[in-house]
Amino acid sequence: MNQITVEQKLTALGELYVRIERIAAEMKGTASRSNVERSFLGATVASSKEENSLALFVRMPGGFFIEFAPFYPLGQPGNNLIVQARRYQKGTRRNDWQFRFSEGEWQRTQSALSDQEIRECLTPDGPSGAFG
């Protein structure tokens, strides 16, 4: 398996954010992008290294807020591209969700990420009868 480059990770991240922005707007939410710092331990040094990553902040009606950001720095070697969705309802943290870029597509479970799954992530309760 070939390693995913930083450029490929940025492209995939941008495509996910465009989908989320579109769906949030359809649901009367607003979205904005900003840089956030991510840190990770170096392979040869026992100290952390920091890197700026692009995050997406979504505000939904009813005081619901979601921060989407890469779980690992994009420059970290390997094929891991995981976006964590930190979900807050009126300042109280709800369950976090994760989306994984694998086999050329975004996934939440073992199949391609659907627009319905994104809609569920943008609601406080998420899917009925399921966990985040």
pLDDT: which is higher, 117 or 72: 117
**pLDDT for 130 beyond 70:** no
pLDDT tens-place string over residues 44-63: 455 666 778 899 999 999 99
Nearest to 42 by CA among 9, 75, 86: 75
pLDDT: which is higher, 23 or 126: 23
Provide the pLDDT for residue 2: 67
- pLDDT-above-70 percentage for the chain: 86
List the helix and strand counts (H, then E) for the chain.
2, 7
Q: How far is CA 123 from CA 14, 24, 25, 94, 114, in A?
A: 22, 10, 13, 11, 15
Provide the pLDDT for residue 43: 56
Q: DSSP string covering 27-93, please?
A: TT-EEEEEEEEEEEE-SSSSSEEEEEEEEEEEEETTTEEEEEEESS-TTSSSS--EEEEEEEETTEE
Distance CA 10, CA 7 (A): 5
